Every structure is written in C-alpha cells, then in structure tokens.
Structure 1
Amino acid sequence: MSDAVAWVEARFAGAIVAAILGLLLANVVSRAFGRPLIWTDELAVYLMVLGAFAGASLGLARRQHIAVTLISDAMGERISTALSRVVDTILLGLFALLAWMLWNWFDPLGVLSAESLQAYSRESFNFLYQEPTTTLGVRKVWFWLILPVFCLTGLVHVFARFGAVSERAQ
C-alpha cells in the first residue's frame, strides 16, 4: 500500500511542479504585455505548499530525508535496525500528535453539529472554513486539506516500514 501511495505522490508532486512552472511562465508573459495575472503568484505559493507536503511524504516512503547516519553506519546491522525502529517510533508519535492537532483544528464533529459554517465560526472562533484566499477568492480550507492527507500518507509509510523491519528480522 505504501508503494502505491508513493507512486501517486510522485505523480502528484510532478504535476504540481509543472503547474507552478506554467503559472509563473504565464505571469511573466502577461506582465510583459502589461496585463499581469495577480492571482498566479498566490496560487503558485499554495501549490508549492501542496507539493512540499506530497514530497515530504514521498521522502518518508523512500527514506530520502536528510539524516546523520554516522553512528548507525559505524554499528552493526542489528543496532542499525534498532535505531531505525527508534526513528520510526518517534515518527509514529509525531504523526499521532499531528493527527490529534488536526482533529482539533478541523473539528469535524463541531462543524457537522453546527447549524451553519457561519454559526460554527462565530461560536468557536475557528475561521478555517470561512477564510478566503487574498486574490483567488477560494476558501483556504481546500489548501489546508493537504495536512490531513499528509498525516494519513505519512502514517501509511511509517507503518509499512515497521512491517518491512519485522519481515527482515524473520
């Protein structure tokens, strides 16, 4: 499952990079003709955020994040495997914390039980679902949804690594 998710993330991140390039190129051309597309910069920034989270999750799947491996490289395979297990356990804890924070921030039960989004925002002072982007006029929540997706895909990759370590140990 982790490999399938990583495949989708790689395609998604590549499409995001292509879209950003297209947006910035369109902005340069439109400015050259004196008719700038002011919304392209904002959309490019939001797309960079989406691409960064997809790439971060992909990096977890492939173990391609920056790491200091001086100690684990000097130790034997057993100790190196144990250190990898410790790192994965810490990652699991961090993703669990992120999931808890996102649950509180998005507050799906509170939103569903409210009579309207306006009433929910007024009562909770949580304007996540109401706040629009500056130039696009789109609600920011559509871009913030990458956070729960990142949390879920990151958990999939970490759990897959636990399974891979268990299989190697047998």
Structure 2
Amino acid sequence: MSDAVAWVEARFAGAIVVAILGLLLANVVSRAFGRPLIWTDELAVYLMVLGAFAGASLGLANRQHIAVTLVSDGLGEHVRKILARVVDTVLLALFALFAWMLWNWFDPLGVLAAEDLQAYSLKSFNFLYQEPTTTLGMRKVWFWLILPVFCLTGIVHVLARFGAVSERAQ
C-alpha cells in the first residue's frame, strides 16, 4: 500500500511542479502585456505548499528525508537497524500527535453538529472553514486539507517500514 501511495504522491508532486511553472509563465506573459494575473502568485504559493507536503511524504516512503547520520554511520549493522526502528517509532508517535492536533483543529464532529459554519466559527473561534484566500476567492480549508492527507500517508509509510522489518525477520 505504501508503494502505491508513493507512486501517486510522485505523480501528484510532479503535476504540481508543472502547474506552478505554467502559472508563473502565464503571469510573466500577462504582465508583459500589461494585464497581470494577480491570483497566479497566490495559487502558486498554495500549490508549492501542497507539493512540499506530498514530497515530504514521498521522502518518508523512500527514507530520503534529511537525517544526521554521523553517529549511526559509525555503528554496527545490528545497532543501526535498532536505531532505525527507534526513529520509526518516534515518527509514528509524532504522526499520532499530529493526527490528534488535526482532529481538534478541523473538529469534524463539531462542524457536523453545528447549524451552519458561521455559527460554528463564532462559537468555537475556529475560522478554518470560513477564511477566504486573498485573491482566489475560495476558502483556505481546501488547501489546508493537505495536512490530514500528509498525516495519513506518513502513517502508512512508517507502518509499512514496520511491516517490512517484521517480514525480513521471518
């Protein structure tokens, strides 16, 4: 499952890069003709955020995230495997904490129980679902949804490593 998710993430991140390039080129051309597309800058920033989270999850899947390996490089193979398992355990704990934080922030049960989003926002002071983008005119929540997706895919990738270790042990 992790491999399938990583395949999708790689294509998604690639498509995002192409979309950003297209937006920036369109903006350059439109400015040259004196008719700038102001919204392209904001959309490019949001797309960069989406691509960064997709790429970060893909990096987790391939163990390509930034790491300081000075200590682990000097250790034996067995100790390195134990250290990798400890790192994966810490990552899983961090993703569990992140999932809890996202659940509280998005508060899906509170939103579903509310009469309307305006009343929910005023009561809870959570304006996540109401805040609009500056130039696009759409709600920012559509871009914030990358956070629970990243959390879920990160958990999938870390759990896959636990499964891969136990399969090798058998």
**Short-chain TM bin:** over 0.9
What residue number does 1:135 align with? 135
Deviation at 1:56, TM superposition (A): 0.1
Deviation at 1:75, TM superposition (A): 1.6
Asked whether 1:31 is paired with 2:31, we answer: yes
Alignment deviations for residues 82-114 of structure 1 (CA, whole Å, 9 cap, x no partner): 000000001001100100000000000000000
Q: What are the equivalent positions in structure 2 for 1:63-78 lying under 5 Å apart?
A: 63-78=63-78
Name structure 2 gaps, 5 residues minimum: none
Task: Name the count of aligned residue pairs.
Answer: 170
Alignment deviations for residues 25-58 of structure 1 (CA, whole Å, 9 cap, x no partner): 0000000000000000000000000000000000
What residue number does 2:61 align with? 61
Give TM-score, length-normalised by structure 1: 0.98
What residue number does 1:43 align with? 43
Deviation at 1:73, TM superposition (A): 2.1
What residue number does 1:105 align with? 105
What residue number does 1:124 align with? 124
Q: Which amino acid aligns with 2:83?
A: L
CA distance in structure 1 between the partners assigned to 2:66 and 2:97 by the alignment? 22
- Judge conservation of contact 1:50–1:146 (CA < 8 Å) in 2: yes
Deviation at 1:71, TM superposition (A): 2.1
CA distance in structure 2 between the partners assigned to 1:13 and 1:135 by the alignment? 23
Identity among equivalent positions (%) equals: 88
CA distance in structure 2 between the partners assigned to 1:52 and 1:123 by the alignment? 33
- Judge conservation of contact 1:81–1:165 (CA < 8 Å) in 2: no
CA distance in structure 2 between the partners assigned to 1:123 and 1:72 by the alignment? 50
Deviation at 1:162, TM superposition (A): 0.7
Name structure 1 gaps, 5 residues minimum: none
Deviation at 1:165, TM superposition (A): 1.4
Give TM-score, length-normalised by structure 2: 0.98
Q: Which amino acid aligns with 2:57?
A: S
Deviation at 1:60, TM superposition (A): 0.0
Alignment RMSD: 0.7
CA distance in structure 1 between the partners assigned to 2:29 and 2:86 by the alignment? 51
